[in-house]
Chain A
Amino acid sequence: MTVSSVVVVGGGIAGVSTVAELRKHGYAGELTLVSADAVPYDRPPLSKEYLAGSRDLESIALQPPSWYAEQRISLIGSAAAVAVRPDAGEVELADGQILTADRIVLATGGRAVRPPIAQAAPIHVLREVADADRLRTQLVPGARLLIVGAGLIGAEVASTARGLGAEVVLVDPLVPPLAAAVGSEVATWLHGLHAVHGVEALATTVETLLETPTGVAVQLQGERDSREFDAVLLAVGLSPENVLAESAGLEVDRGVLIDAGQLTSHPSVLAVGDCSRLRDHPRAEHWEAAQVDGARAAATILEIAPPPAAAPWWWTDRYGLHVEGVGEMRSPDAVHQTVVRGVVGEPPFSVFTLRSERVIGAVAVDDPNAVRAARRMIDRQVDVRASDLADVTQNLRKLL
């Protein structure tokens, strides 16, 4: 059956990528994007430039508002889907409107995990632009901020908050965080940057949070007295938004389960981005992964070749340093070797994981082209010598 109508539910990068890729590949049928936001925006700046106030909502739009009309995409903004009926091909919106389509793509994203504690105004999470707006009002010079969780979001907000003059305490029981993503040596150095920039980074957990008339009283494990904060940010992970998928009877297990073509357990429903999980794989939870999901979903709908497989890539920024990673970092063992280009802790530098003579992962600080080279080495399965990678006078391009 030729597909002549598609409804995409969710206006994050995965959903917008899906509609963009459908049009890019010549899909001429009806195309509807249901978004909770008036105009879909990009989330990475919410912990960085947007939170800092240096970029506004308009400048973080995923596409200019006029783009949707130009692409003949019916954008239904500020809307919520309340039911999906796969057999009927229906999506019901909160205002009662019912959309019908040959294919439905779920791009419902996720929610920031909120541990089961009392909701209180000074206790924040960060996922939506409204979250960032609320948090920013509290990031004034001298304000005391506790960040729970020192992963990418927690670390980025710590950096932004310091830039705004706030006093920051950052707690995470896992030290160093991100070791699996960047390797333990780089992870230790990155985590150490917090202290260098005046953040009190503690290897502990929160026992209790109590709202007080002036803020939040926090009891940290291992401390005798509680501490007082003006605001608390919980940055402890993402929970996929699967209410619609579950009620639609789709197979869900820590994400809507999908196959390699983004198809769910129902043949006319696909899922992309943070709400979805490839069976037997963890959720990717990165920006580019969501974008590629959209491209794959479009290819499946149009029955064309999917985008070529590529090593996953991500970035983060903290304290003015730009960190990128690609592929998989592994500790040295019988088959894996760690190669440092430059000196860890003295940017620009990069670190590669080699399996035999193949790069399988790389992390770079202020050395983005090392990661671009590594990405191509991984994707093209190029044999390289460790000594060439480590030689900073060697142009990595020449190794491709």
Chain B
Amino acid sequence: MTGISGNDGSSTGIRVASVDDIPEGEGIAISSDITGTEDDIAILRDDDGTCWALNDTCTHETASLAEGWVEDGDVECPLHSSRFNLRTGKVDGLPATRDTVPHRVEVRDGEVYLFPGERP
């Protein structure tokens, strides 16, 4: 997890993982120490292979979305199965009622770059 961000911390993003480190349908959590955000950020890989990023903590209770089930554009929380849209962070299934925060990710040369705080 090497930060190679530009001076403003956002122009090139933070290299957080190789795509191959994240199995399709799963996720990894990136510590807030690295992202500089309040919450950790979950990098989530959909079953079509695309990568997305959301705040890691479920807005319902304390669970890590990086440990959730990723499928068909949603991540399902491992605790109570709340579902969040990978692209928008919007709640797609109760019990969560508050949307979560999406972040921009880019995949270049098989590496995942995260842009904390930037909208996808």
Interface residues, chain A, CB within 8 Å of chain B? 13, 17, 20, 42, 44, 49, 55, 61-64, 67, 287-288, 291, 313, 315, 322, 368-369, 372-373, 395, 397
Contacts and interface: CB of A to CB of B under 8 A. Distances in A.
Contacts, number: 39
A397 B25 contact: yes
B97 A368 contact: no
Which residue, of B68, B76, B94, has the highest number of chain A Cβ atoms within 10 A?
Answer: B94
B6 to A, nearest CB: 37
A368 B67 CA distance: 9
B21 interface: no
Interface residues of B, number: 16
A370 to B, nearest CB: 10
B79 A372 contact: no
B90 to A, nearest CB: 12
Interface of A is mostly: helix
Contacts of B68: 369
Given A368-B79, A369-B68, A372-B76, 18 more contacts: A13-B94, A44-B80, A61-B97, A62-B95, A63-B97, A64-B97, A64-B98, A67-B97, A287-B95, A313-B81, A322-B79, A368-B67, A368-B78, A369-B78, A372-B81, A373-B69, A397-B23, A397-B24
Contacts of B23: 395, 397
Nearest to A288: B81
Contacts of A44: 80, 95
Contacts of A64: 97-98
Top 7 nearest A-B pairs by Cβ distance?
A368-B78, A372-B69, A397-B25, A63-B97, A369-B69, A42-B95, A64-B97
Nearest to B76: A372
Nearest to A64: B97
B111 interface: no
Which residue, of B23, B67, B78, has the highest number of chain A Cβ atoms within 10 A?
Answer: B78
A46 B67 CA distance: 25
